[in-house]
Structure 1
Amino acid sequence: MSAKARISYKKQMIVILLLFIVPFLACLLSYNLYTANTVVNANIIQENKSKIGVFSNSFERSIANITTFMTTTVANDTNFRVLGYQSGKLNAYLSAYEILNKCKDILSMDESITGLFLFSTANELYWNAFQNRSGTENRSGLSEQLRTIVSRQDYTSAEWFVRELNGQPYLIRVLSYNRAYFIGIIDLNKAVRSLNADSSANANPLLFATDRMELLTMNRELDQAHYTFQHNQNGEPVYLKSGKTRYRIIESDFGVKGIKMIYLVAHRRIWHDMNGQQFSLFFASIVCLLLVPLCYFLLKRSFFTPLNSFVGTMNSIKEGHLDVRMSNRSPILEFEQMSSTFNEMLHEIKSLKIVAYEHQLDAQRATMQFLRIQIRPHFYLNCLNNLYALAQNGEYKKIQEMILVLSKYLRDMFRQSPYLVPLSAEVHNIETYVKLQTMTQSTPIYFSVDMDEGLRSFPIPPITILTFVENAIKFGIYRDKPLIVNVKARYLQDGDSDCVNITIVDNGKGFSEDELKALNAPHTEENTTHVGIGNVKRRFFFQYQGEAVLFFSNSNGACIEIFIPLSTAGAEPHPESNEELV
């Protein structure tokens, strides 16, 4: 395109805006005269939007408070966990008593909550707590219906839901642990009366409804037998007509899925026969509407199409396609210059990213190698100390045997890849290591392997299983009891989640509760007792990008379970990971 055919975007914008703004201003003048008649309704609607916002926020806070109280009780209160199992009538009674005392406190602080129920099917215990202001005639019926819902599992535990109890709509939340159930209920009719303090005859109805606009509560101002909805062009209900009154519907969500709060504002008609002023407004509107397609065409050709091309190119770059380029064809001079500059910048970014990728890969490989080397020093020092002790005792034959086994062990270690080794090679190194330890330990050590034959060549980071076996020998021997260490490797098939499970168990002392809490934490902190295990967790994070799982527990001794997804097996450290390990 020649330079004469291109104009500045400023001139292009001015031409387009003038073509649109001049008739728009004339239309706006007429429109302002007309809207003066409807400003009253607009102000009323805006005022009531603020009011229903206050109502919904207040109700949402109440629901959030009771939800927090219920989830905290189920998750953290040991009394509730006692109720989940058969613990005896007295223990169950005392635990339920403690929980219900807390329930009474929360009920006294928030009047919108109707009641809280505590069911322990394991101990056949059924308690409830109601608001003091609530009637007592329907309490037994409510309890019975809630017990039926729980027994039939007729609820969704992940959220609040609406159910009719004793002929009234209630908002219900059920949380459970094993065979204990914690239920909160809110009477929607009472909630409406509590929220809408203005209960005068002229008050606007405040109601609850479903997302499909099915009314859950009613109001004495409405004709309950005859009411209809009026919808807009999108099929959304805008007005409710009851008898001779027409209400504008104002909606507000309060954090419960499938349910909304609606406020009905009586609509005031301020309308007259069309006069000359309104006819002028209609004609001006038609002119503006006819000019809109022309303005849109000009804006699309000059601005929208180049900008869409620019956004499309940026999205392609975001997905990793650095070979895309922006088109230079545009009637706007500045867009053409921007395209050329952007294409040159993309070329530079691609070159710099390759260099940065290589540097980051080198740095992460060095980190992996350092973590691997850091595990071993105390083992080599122990071997040297053992050799020194044997030399002092004059046991030269044992020294010779130990040196031969140690040299074979070191030869295998130096020959291994710094990233991944076959599972069979790791097991072979463990057997050599156990043999070394047997030569210096007075307590017998028995090591066994149960491995699927197809997993012998499965790749894992080196010194992984060996670290846990070494930890078992170091901390598991006590009371002159023979130490038994078993490694089991299995292939777990679960559709797209296929993985390999490696389990290391021993019959030693196991882990303390504090150690289990620290080892099962998402990030491993520096620990002078289990340096090797911490380094293994860091190496697994680098190697598998958080997809592999290590779980520590006790089972007549220490038990370590490793789960490695097949989708990540054999992958080298990801060069673009920049998460900081704690």
Structure 2
Amino acid sequence: MKQLKPIFNSLLFKLFLSVVLIIGPLIIIHIVNNYYAVQVIRSQVAQSNNNMLNLYIDQIDNSLEGVGNYIFQLNANNTDLYYLQENESFDLNEYEEAKLRLFYAIGSQSEFYPTIDSIFIYSSTYDDFMNTQNYADSYTHRLEEKTEIIQVLRDKPDQVSEGKWSIVKGENNYYLLYYLTTDRVKVGAWVNMDKLIQPFKYIDFGENGRAFLTNSEFQPITSRNFIQEENINLTFTGNKYAITGKNDRFVAMKEKSKMGDFYLFALIPESEILEKLPFLQRISSLVYAVAIIFLLFFIFIMRKVFLQPINRIVTAMKKLRKGDLEVRLPVQPNSTEFEVMNDNFNHMISEIRGLKINVYEEKLNLQRAELKHLQLQINPHFFLNSLNIIYNLATVKEYEIIQEMSKCLANYFRYMFRSNSYFVSLHDELEHTRNYLRIQQLRFPDTFGYDIDLPKELGDCKIPPLVIQTMVENSIKHAFNFDKKIDISIAVKQESTNYITIKIQDTGEGFPEEVLEKLAIDESLSSVDGERIGIWNVKRRLALLYEDNTKIHFTNEEGKGATVIIQIPIESI
């Protein structure tokens, strides 16, 4: 959530949100209006075509019902059908005369049912078939249909439910077939289903629109290839229309026949419907497109003129916060206000850079002065004690010891006089410490021993002067006891590639608890009489020279005494 807050609080987001809140409702209203208009047009077109389908299916049903009633009356009342039944008492002349009368009877009635292709009478006893002729088709076509109907009546009677208009499939065509049977004489009619949709060829359904028929399982009877290629879904229920199609979208409508087990479908391309939208609807779409273009153009202009200059200022301020005082805003043609702002920003950065350089140099000067002062505090620290040592030795006439003592003191003060530098080698610092320990041994013989361990490869490492000697001096001062000999050890190790560790340890009583507590919280230990001023001095110098890149730890190790561990960075001379 914290990562998203800067984004939501940015000027670009607020500007974009403001424009969206203004234009968004207008766009939403337009979308809703478009959707409503399209739905109204669809509903109107669907209603109009549903009425047309309903009207035509009623005409078909009325025609089928009329033919069915005629066939029922003919089958029930015409006695000539009796001659077509199996009867050995009839002679051939009577049979032919009856056939002739029946042919005239069904021929005269077929003119009243133009929807029907043919009315027929079929005697399965004599395998005799007579039917009316539709002369609108070719002789070959009429013969093909007749052959297919006879084949269904002979070989596939189970495809037809007697007394009901049923869909039957011939070798090449689908038919609606109806018949009634009396003593193996079938009286019926058929119609080629392609003929049922011929009137729709004169209706404009659009370029790819069409009407077609399906059975009760919604399997297409006509236009089968088109339905399969376009992936038309015909199984919708409960709606006046449905939108379907894979490549093109169609509005599909259907009506079911009451007399036959089939559906009449109509498909109208949606593109044809939408072309009939009013002119103002198209103007509204143009306004919608212009609004989006305006929104994008407005954001582009605001980003170019307003947001980019602000973003450059924000980026420069972020770099400035990270300490980059070299950052400058580029001089580019821009609004007057931004040009003034950029110029003032660059001028301000230049002044801050100069001020920071001055402050940094002043800080360095103060650090140098403080280091000089701290080192001057150390230089006279041992002076008075040294004079007292020589005086006491002269009193007892220990001339050899005075000579060695004088030599050690000369080396000691020679090192002290050159220790005004900030760093010395670790080897020189330990030699000075060894010289100091020898002076103390000459002063207090057989009271303490010492051991110094320095790996040869670490001798050239830099350390601040008098750091180790000060800690050793503190051990002698506070751990010294005439009743018990003490040992002092100094060990230098390389803990990692970047740091060395100096461990100074004695076998005395260790640091008092109150001293350790003050050292832990970095509280000053110096008193009015100068007690433990050396420890504070070392800590202060390390802090000035290394800041947070050094550590000094004070502790009492069990059975050992006071222990000081100093960790400083490795720096070769």
TM tier, smaller: 0.3 to 0.5
> Which structure features the higher share of helix residues?
2
Larger RCO (CA within 8 A; separation ≥ 6): 1
Larger Rg: 2
TM-score under structure 2 normalisation? 0.47
